[in-house]
Amino acid sequence: MTTGRRVPARRWGRRLLFSVRGRATLITVAVSALILALALVLMLLLARDWAENRVGRLTERTAERIAFDLSRGRNPGIIDVRPDEAQMVQVVTPQGKVVAASDAVRGRPALATADLARGELLIDQRVCPRFPKGCVWAFGLRIRTSPWGPDVMVIAADPLPGLLNVWLLPLALFGLLVALLSLIAWWTWHTIGQAFVPVDIIRSEMADLDARGLDHRVPVPQAGGGIQSLAERVNATLDRLEEAVTRERRFVSDASHDLRNPITGLQTRLEVALGEPDDADWKPMVRGALRDTRRLNDIVADLLELSRLDARTPKPVEPVDLAALVRREVGLRAGDAPITTRLEPGVVVRANPVRLSRVLGNLLGNAERHAESRIEVTVARDGGDAVLEVLDDGSGVPEEARERVFERFARLSESRARDPQGTGLGLPIAREIAEIYGGSLRIADSPAGARFVLRLPLITGDGPPR
């Protein structure tokens, strides 16, 4: 039984100490306890001062009235007090003898005395005589003439409120403090628990993600604030994850299809070559096998480059003059469409030259496949950017398909017709490289053909690129 009781206690201890809900409740209760304790102590002091001042005014008013009556010769032997006045009144001689008193203290010793030799003419203090039980507030004043001789003192006293003489008021305030802290603790625990209900729902939904599938989304609370933002961010992450998994599956399917064709062709040609007689002309078959081998090499190179880009594999960077890069790359092309250039000198970016050459080569290869009669390459500055444009005079890319061509393995019908052997990886690779170096690649409007615009941060004379 003892072990069974310890387990819930341990569990609650962990919830209080290690959960956000428990720590927030403990901190709130601790801060509230400090503030409330200070406030209640201040209230206790103010209540005590108010009670003492009230009793002090009552005794002062009573003593002044009795002294005035005695100085006029009224009621020399009887001390009458009114119901709204202090009930304990004494007339005390300089020697400390009580010569007159009210009914409440008749026959009792002096409540307080004053030393005339020290010049004490007034008493206004808290005193605790042997009677009555508890302390009283005494106010006394000395009168020069009286029926009992000169310099007698009229003393009026009244008990202080019982709550201030014992521990009842502090205990009551302590009980109030405990009640308020209990209420604050419950309210904090309940409120934070309610605030974390959507988080618990999101957590349970994410825990069941394997069973539900990546197309499942967590509920989004409409209360606003950080919880709604968290749910929206989780759903956005699930969107990207589902898209990545879908793209990976499509990648495997398309890559398998693209690899199967040249491998099948290569295998067939090699089998035919082996089945031919020794004097057969085998060169055409070997040339076909070589083309298939080159296509396989291109596909594998694109896949390897994509894997490096996805892993953000670093490559050394250096300043690259775009004009010089364009001149070198254009000099290596031997396509049917002539290439004209408009190159602004001194347009330098920081990147890996091999990767930039691949970007330009992919853009020029795409332009050569679709151009009718010409290709134009432009390099210029635009503010803090270096801009490289490749423009052809082909049929162009429809506006609704301009982002689709940058998806991996995505190919438009015209592209498939012009280049059946293509893989659809050139433009996605080019955009990935541009984004790695802080730039962008997009298709802009043009009067005719397709206009690809590459932007990269420009190196200025003041320092590295922005």
Asked if residue 163 has pLDDT above 60, the reply is no
What pLDDT is recorded for position 459? 84
Asked if residue 278 has pLDDT above 90, the reply is no
Q: State the CATH class of domain 225-309.
A: mainly alpha
What pLDDT is recorded for position 326? 92
Q: Give the mean model confidence (pLDDT) for residues 257-286.
A: 69
Asked if residue 165 has pLDDT above 60, the reply is no
CA atoms within 13 A on the CB side of 115: 2
For 100, counting Cβ atoms within 10 Å of its Cβ (0-12 exposed, 13-18 middle, 19+ buried), the class is buried
Mean pLDDT score across all residues of the chain: 78
Residue 239: CB partners within 8 Å, gap ≥ 6? none
Q: Give the pTM.
A: 0.47
Q: How confident is the model at residue 300 (pLDDT cuts 50, 70, 90)?
A: confident
The H or E element containing residue 179 is: helix 168-195
In the chain, CATH 3.30.450.20 covers 11-195
The H or E element containing residue 443 is: strand 440-444
pLDDT, one tens digit per residue, over 316-337 is 889 999 999 999 988 887 767 8
CA 220/CA 316 separation, integer angstroms: 44
pLDDT, one tens digit per residue, over 327-374 is 998 888 776 788 889 999 989 999 999 889 989 988 888 888 888 888
Question: Could you tell me which residue, 261 or 346, shows the higher pLDDT?
Answer: 346
Looking at the domain that runs over 11-195, which CATH code has it been given? 3.30.450.20
What pLDDT is recorded for position 421? 58
What pLDDT is recorded for position 465? 45
Q: Which of 23-27, 117-121, 382-386 has the lowest average pLDDT? A: 117-121
Most confidently modeled range among 204-208, 253-257, 355-359 = 355-359
Hey, how many other C-beta atoms are within 10 angstroms of the C-beta on 137?
Answer: 24
In the chain, CATH 1.10.287.130 covers 225-309
What is the CATH T-level fold of the domain 314-457, as seen in this structure? Heat Shock Protein 90 (3.30.565)
* Cβ atoms of residues 138 and 156 within 8 Å: yes
Instruction: Enter the DSSP assignment of 108.
Output: P
Q: Give the mean model confidence (pLDDT) for residues 424-435.
A: 85
CA 355/CA 248 separation, integer angstroms: 23
In the chain, CATH 3.30.565.10 covers 314-457
